[in-house]
Amino acid sequence: MKRLLIIAFIFTMTLGFAVKTYSQQILDTPPRNGVYDKKSTVERNPLPYPYIREADVMWTKRIWRVIDLREKMNQPFYYPETPQNDWRSLVTIIMDALKEGSITAYDASTPTDEFLVPLTYQEIMSRLERIDTVQYTRPYPPYDLYDTIIKKSFYPSDVKRIRIKEDWIFDKQRSQLDVRIIGICPVRDSYTEKGEFRGYDPLFWIYYPEARPIFAKCDVFNRFNSAERKSYDVVFQKRIFSSYIYKEDNVYDRKITEYSTGIDALLESERIKNKIFDFEENLWSY
């Protein structure tokens, strides 16, 4: 009888400890924000590129584009300004990956757009966030000058443009004109202390093939069906964005804006785009 009482006591204590542990786990786990667990996004991987031999490349051209995030078609790249429900903007995803060390950033201030000088996350933030000392005049006599410290913080919403560098290749083995994105560069507007616009400030370059595994696990908002959201990698591969060309490889290594302005620059951008597709069309005879 004594042994039965000891066994019952041990069983009661064990059951109570298990219930307490399970209850604590429930309290520590946040409630599901939805009806089901989204496992496909976490397990998603980018599709590998078809292999291309150098001997099969009969024509290639390098193109630089600008994706303006203010355009309606490109707004899913810009929003949300505040991450929510596993939904982040493109620049937020890039900055989070740089902070984690998942991808490498390269200096965009070099004369060329090559991946030459790697940057750490601390070096990037030291460039993006800085403390300036500005002199102001007091509004009352004797109207002397005084120094004011202004801290300039960086927010992903400050980036309104994205530059991409890509190669157009015609593979004679597959008889296909293919495009491969090489790099992505966030760009923010630069202003003077008086608030006057003075140009564009490229922040850094990232190597796109290195970032593909991260982009493949991040969804882009779908205006028509939230259950069928595509990843950023799919959006880039299927070219679901609006852009314009600002440079092609040329003997002078110059941008379109260096020899055309205004509407002429846009027409030159369209001319370069049409020239690429005309090249493919002219290869075939019917």
Nearest to 148, CA basis, from 193, 197, 195: 193
Q: Residue 282 and residue 140: Cα distance in Å, rounded?
A: 74
Cα distances (Å, whole numbers) of residue 132 to 116, 125, 151 = 29, 15, 6
Cα distances (Å, whole numbers) of residue 66 to 93, 112, 189, 252 = 19, 17, 13, 20
Q: Residue 281 and residue 28: Cα distance in Å, rounded?
A: 60
Decide: 256 and 269 in contact? Cβ < 8 Å. Answer: yes
pLDDT in tens, the chain (286 residues): 556 656 665 656 665 555 455 445 444 566 777 777 777 777 788 999 999 999 999 999 999 999 999 999 999 999 998 888 778 999 999 999 999 999 999 999 887 889 999 999 999 998 888 777 777 787 888 778 877 777 788 889 999 999 999 999 999 999 899 999 999 999 998 877 677 788 899 999 999 999 999 999 999 988 888 888 889 999 999 999 999 999 999 999 999 999 999 999 999 999 999 999 898 888 876 6
Residues 6+ apart with CB under 8 A from 229: 219, 220, 221, 222
pTM above 0.85, yes or no: no
**Cβ atoms within 10 Å, residue 76:** 23
Is 101 exposed, middle or buried (CB count within 10 Å of its CB: 0-12, 13-18, 19+)? exposed
Domain residue ranges in the chain = 36-124+159-281
Gap between the terminal Cα atoms of the chain? 98
